[in-house]
């Protein structure tokens, strides 16, 4: 499910949460919570703005499979 965060690379800066236009990502103390993956628009803002390259975008099977 989009986006997927690599906890080893993430520095907990919170930019992906702040910049998501769809309110999908929530920054918690212990890490990034991609709370509403079904509401992702795949705009790529989180990935573009992540300072550490911790965000990968994955597409659900329905998008790739049809």
**Inter-CA distances, 53 with 7, 16, 38, 62, Å:** 11, 11, 22, 26
Q: Which is nearer to another protein, 6 or 23 (CB)?
A: 23
Q: Is 29 in the site for another protein (CB under 8 A)?
A: no
User: DSSP secondary-structure letter at 22?
Assistant: T
Q: Which is nearer to another protein, 7 or 21 (CB)?
A: 21
User: Using the rule CB under 6 A, which residue among 54, 58, 61, 62 binds ligand SF4?
Assistant: 54
Q: Which is nearer to another protein, 21 or 51 (CB)?
A: 21
**4 CB neighbour count, 10 Å cutoff:** 13
């Amino acid at each position: 499910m989009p986006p997927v965060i690599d906890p080893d690379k993430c520095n907990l800066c919170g930019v992906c949460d702040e910049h998501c236009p769809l309110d999908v990502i929530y920054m918690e103390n212990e890490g990034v919570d991609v709370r509403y993956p079904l509401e992702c628009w795949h705009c790529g803002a989180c990935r573009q703005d992540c300072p550490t390259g911790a965000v990968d975008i994955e597409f659900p099977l329905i998008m790739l499979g049809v």
